[in-house]
């Protein structure tokens, strides 16, 4: 059962005819009403989220379009024919100006409101932070103070922090 709304293609991008909704495997699909073959399956969009770990801590950034006070790990769309590991490295360079290496897979998360499949990585990075036009503020949180939050990217942070915690020696061991 799909939790997401019917795709918004009102007209067929192939032939310009109206589209109609159709249920396929319990998912709402838009198909061309003139039967030219177009179908929009509303597949999730892959988006890479990156936990950027610098020697000082993890970088959280504020997007120019967000309300004030909200910070998150950086995210970016996967380019055509790009592997998500490469997206993680590229986005870290583009958005923060940092050279990243060691992209480690953290997990997959669903961001329902935008039907995005979040593919989360952690990278190590160094260098002076230089934000691009998408960001207007950042903060660096020491790893031992980092906590996740209740969205897809926040869940990735929580999982990553928990994995690090599991790797640390217990005080009584």
Residues that bind Zn ion (CB under 5 A): 12, 14-15, 17, 32, 34, 36, 38
For Zn ion, give the closer residue by CB, 38 or 111: 38
Q: How far is the CB of 20 from Zn ion (least distance, A)?
A: 11
Sequence-distant (6+) residues with CB within 8 A of 173 are none
Neighbour count for residue 137 (Cβ, 10 Å): 15
Measure the CA–CA gap between 13 and 30, rounded to whole angstroms.
Answer: 11
For Zn ion, give the closer residue by CB, 36 or 83: 36
Q: How far is the CB of 30 from Zn ion (least distance, A)?
A: 10
For Zn ion, give the closer residue by CB, 18 or 114: 18
Judge contact between 138 and 128, C-beta under 8 A. Answer: no
DSSP 8-state secondary structure symbol assigned to residue 112? G
Q: How far is the CB of 40 from Zn ion (least distance, A)?
A: 11
């Amino acid at each position: 059962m799909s939790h997401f709304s019917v795709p918004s293609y009102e007209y067929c991008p192939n032939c310009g005819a109206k589209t109609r909704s159709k249920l396929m495997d319990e998912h709402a699909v838009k198909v061309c009403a003139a039967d030219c073959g177009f179908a929009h399956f509303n597949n999730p969009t892959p988006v890479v989220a990156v936990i950027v770990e610098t020697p000082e801590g993890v970088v959280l950034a504020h997007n120019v379009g967000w309300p004030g006070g909200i910070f998150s790990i950086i995210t970016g769309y996967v380019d055509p024919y790009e592997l998500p590991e490469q997206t993680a490295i590229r986005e870290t360079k583009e958005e923060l100006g940092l050279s990243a290496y060691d992209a480690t897979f953290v997990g997959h998360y669903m961001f329902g409101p935008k039907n995005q499949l979040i593919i989360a990585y952690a990278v190590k990075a160094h260098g002076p932070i230089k934000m691009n036009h998408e960001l207007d503020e950042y903060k660096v949180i020491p790893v031992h103070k980092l906590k996740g939050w209740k969205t897809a990217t926040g869940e990735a942070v929580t999982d990553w922090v928990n994995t690090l915690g599991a790797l640390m020696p217990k005080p009584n061991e």
